[in-house]
Amino acid sequence: VSGALEIQSLAGMPEVGQGDDIASLIAAAAREPVREGDVVVVSQKIVSKAEGRIRDLASVRPGAEALETAARTGKDPRLVELVLGEAASVVRAEPGVIIVRTHSGLVCANAGIDTSNVPGAESVTLLPEDPDASARRIRAGLRTASGQAPAVVVADSFGRPWRLGQTDVAIGCAGLVSLDDWRGRADRGGRELAATAIAIADEAAAAADLARDKTSGLPVVVISGLERFVTRGDGPGAAVLRRPESEDLFG
């Protein structure tokens, strides 16, 4: 059932700018074509850049709500204005912390807006508007470029309640069984595996993060050995990993 996994970052990716075709850049950088059963994990940062999801804080004018929330949290009112623009609802706003649920359903600090590794003194990246669609586009592009359609994951680093440190999670994916649902299946002793559904896409994002570091500029990582989770169709993406607000007993 399970064999070895190999995880390798892709050297030679250039800086990505607005309008760049990430699939073509990956195909050009890969020494050998990425294979059908591979999982290509792409960092959110370059997807956002390619999609033009960059803002310059210098050109943002905070409104009344942003000014109020900025005062309460101690954050830059211009950043808060952008965060609120991305937010369907504010989960938490306290000194030093703003956690929101984004329009695409992700719960994360600062709406996932990031200031590091963006050119320009006050430039920031927003998350892709629809990260599952981003993953599907990259997958389609890889299919066009190479004839192969590996699974694609768009990954970003999220903090977690109760645990320190961030881990990479899948904010988007295509062609991957993102949630491997064992509920109803039996364990080796025949007892039901009561509540086990494994977030494969999140584990793949986390695994890929181990093959780069935060300053290395290695935004693309290829995982081999997960063929059993790679699907012909794009599937429902990482959307299935977002716990519906109504069910959020765990939070």
Q: Please measure the distance between the N-terminal and C-terminal CA atoms of the chain and give it in whole angstroms.
A: 34
Of 141, 156, 132, the closest CA to residue 205 belongs to 156
Among 27-35, 64-72, 91-99, 146-154, which window interacts with a second copy (CB under 8 A)?
A: 91-99
- The yes or no reply on residue 65 touching a second copy (CB under 8 A) is no
Task: Give CA torsion, residues 11, 17, 18, 20, to 10 deg.
Answer: -40
Residue of 54, 217, 227, 236 that binds a second copy (CB under 8 A): 217
Within 10 angstroms of residue 116's Cβ, the number of other Cβ atoms is: 9
Strand partners, 240: none
Take residue 138 and report the two structure tokens written for it.
Answer: 């990259």
Residue of 74, 92, 144, 231 that binds a second copy (CB under 8 A): 92
Among 58-66, 82-90, 137-145, 179-187, which window interacts with a second copy (CB under 8 A)?
A: 179-187
- The yes or no reply on residue 243 touching a second copy (CB under 8 A) is yes
Q: State the nearest-atom distance from the C-beta of 222 to a second copy, in Å.
A: 10
Site string for a second copy, 156-175 (x = CB under 8 A): -x-xxxxxxxxxxx------
Compute the distance between CA of residue 142 and CA of residue 27 in angstroms, rounded to an integer.
7
CA atoms within 13 A on the CB side of 156: 29
Give residues 102-161 in contact with a second copy (rule: CB under 8 A). Answer: 107, 109, 115-119, 121, 157, 159-161
Nearest to a second copy of 90, 109 (CB atom): 109
Compute the distance between CA of residue 106 and CA of residue 241 in angstroms, rounded to an integer.
9
Residue of 19, 96, 147, 233 that binds a second copy (CB under 8 A): 96
